[in-house]
């Protein structure tokens, strides 16, 4: 019924999270009605971001610079690292301006089922940063899910072993003001701030 180019566009749009076939069709029509103002611009933004935006080799944040602007910001303290599952969790913390240290983005959680082990989450890289930057505190901010908490526990253990051999590191986790079962990036800034303030030692 429609052109191949249009079918292909709808097919690709439908792969985006939050869009199904019907909303992909609606989005495609909307784009064709806003050709110059949106459609061509979006094509350019996709190409630009695909070419320019990459994970930071230190912390895993997505940025145009490597190391990213958070890792190189001289106004931020490098003796605190907040560990998150994903980049959108980092964004959620940053939107509130809640934390002035550095981040470590795991890129997921440990999962026997999905075959995700410590080597997939850059945990050696985190331990290396802790030693090299003389990090005084690691804040574990993974989600309050089974996998998130298992991962936090594993990271805390690895850091504890490291601290025995070397310099002491305080390991904290966000307070359990977070709703159980929730994901970090869906929470409001007030809850995130309360949880950050009430963070508790686990090692």
| Contacts with a second copy, residue ranges (CB under 8 A) | 1-6, 8-9, 12-13, 15-19, 22-23, 25-32, 34-35, 38-53, 61-65, 69-70, 86-88, 90-91, 94-95, 185-186
Strand partners, 116: 111
Contact indicator for 94, 48 with CB cutoff of 8 Å? no
Report the nearest approach of a second copy to the CB of residue 103 (Å).
10
Alpha-carbon span 24 to 12, nearest angstrom: 8
**Whether the Cβ atoms of residue 95 and residue 192 lie closer than 8 Å to each other:** no
Alpha-carbon span 156 to 168, nearest angstrom: 13
Nearer to a second copy, 128 or 190 (CB): 190
- 14/164 Cα distance (integer angstroms): 51
Least distance in angstroms from the C-beta of 2 to a second copy: 6
Nearer to a second copy (CB atom), residue 117 or residue 186: 186
Bridge partner list, 102 = 81
In the complex with a second copy, the residue whose CB is nearer, 69 or 176, is: 69
Report, in Å, the least distance between residue 49 CB and a second copy. 4
Q: How far is the CB of 131 from a second copy (least distance, A)?
A: 27
d(Cα 39, Cα 149) in Å, to the nearest integer? Answer: 42
131 vs 193, beta carbon nearer a second copy: 193
Smallest separation, CB 90 to a second copy (Å): 8
Nearer to a second copy, 49 or 198 (CB): 49
Which secondary-structure segment (H or E) carries 84? strand 80-84
Distance CA 36, CA 31 (A): 9
């Amino acid at each position: 019924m429609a052109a191949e180019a249009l079918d292909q566009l709808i097919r690709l749009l439908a792969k985006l999270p939050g869009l199904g076939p019907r909303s992909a069709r609606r989005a495609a029509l909307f784009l064709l009605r806003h050709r110059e103002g949106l459609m061509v611009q979006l094509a350019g933004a996709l190409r630009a971001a695909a070419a320019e935006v990459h994970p930071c080799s230190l912390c895993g944040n997505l940025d145009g610079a490597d190391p990213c602007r958070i890792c190189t910001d001289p106004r931020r303290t490098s003796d605190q690292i907040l560990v998150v599952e994903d980049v959108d969790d980092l964004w959620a913390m940053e939107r509130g301006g809640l934390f002035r240290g550095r981040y470590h983005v795991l890129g997921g959680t440990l999962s026997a089922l999905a075959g995700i082990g410590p080597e997939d989450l850059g945990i050696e890289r985190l331990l290396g940063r802790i030693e090299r930057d003389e990090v005084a505190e690691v804040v574990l901010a993974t989600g309050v899910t089974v996998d998130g908490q298992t991962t936090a526990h594993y990271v805390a253990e690895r850091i504890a072993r490291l601290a025995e051999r070397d310099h002491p590191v305080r390991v904290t986790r966000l307070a359990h003001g977070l709703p159980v079962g929730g994901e970090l990036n869906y929470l409001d800034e007030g809850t995130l701030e309360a949880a950050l303030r009430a963070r508790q030692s686990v090692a």
